[in-house]
């Protein structure tokens, strides 16, 4: 298998390579833009926006799930007695059950904020 050795950096490239990673063009036999930097500003902005959109969607879904789970847990564990001790015990149980949905919702809000920041930068 034939290879091309870059005269600029010495990197071994496949025979079909048009340019080296350092930017050397085998076609023009001159330095060009390094491949890593060849992406346009529009492409970079589009990538940032798509990542930000993903964060917004995931964050919104997590927030909605946290709220929905919290409402369901509260509605499904109503006290069946007017006894203050029973009401207090149910309230404590609800508080413990709401920890996970609350954390889920907070993580969702953080994702939304990060997505908005990424989208605006």
Confirm whether pTM is higher than 0.75.
no
Write down the H helix ranges in the chain. 41-76, 84-97, 99-120
**Strand, coil or helix: what is 8?**
coil
- In whole numbers, what is the pLDDT of the chain averaged over residues? 81
What b-and-e string marks burial along 82-101, b requiring 16 or more CB atoms within 10 Å of the CB?
eeeeeeeebeeebeebbeeb
Task: Give the domain ranges of the chain.
Answer: 3-37, 41-120
**What is the tens place of the pLDDT at every residue in 44-76?**
677 777 888 888 888 888 888 888 888 888 788
How far is Cα 22 from Cα 6, in angstroms, rounded to an integer? 9
How does DSSP classify residue 35? G
CA distance 5 to 50: 37
CA angle 46–50–55, rounded 5-degree value? 145
């Amino acid at each position: 298998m034939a290879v091309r050795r870059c005269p600029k950096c010495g990197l071994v490239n496949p025979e079909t390579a048009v340019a080296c990673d350092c930017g050397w063009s085998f076609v023009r036999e001159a330095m060009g833009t390094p491949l890593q930097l060849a992406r346009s500003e529009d492409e970079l902005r589009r990538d940032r926006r798509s990542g930000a959109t993903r964060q917004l969607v995931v964050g919104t879904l997590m927030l909605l799930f946290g709220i929905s789970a919290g409402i369901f847990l509260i509605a499904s564990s109503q006290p069946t007695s007017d006894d203050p001790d029973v009401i207090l015990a149910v309230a404590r149980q609800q508080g413990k059950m709401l920890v996970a949905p609350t954390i889920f919702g907070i993580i969702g809000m953080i994702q939304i904020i990060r997505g908005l920041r990424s989208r605006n930068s």
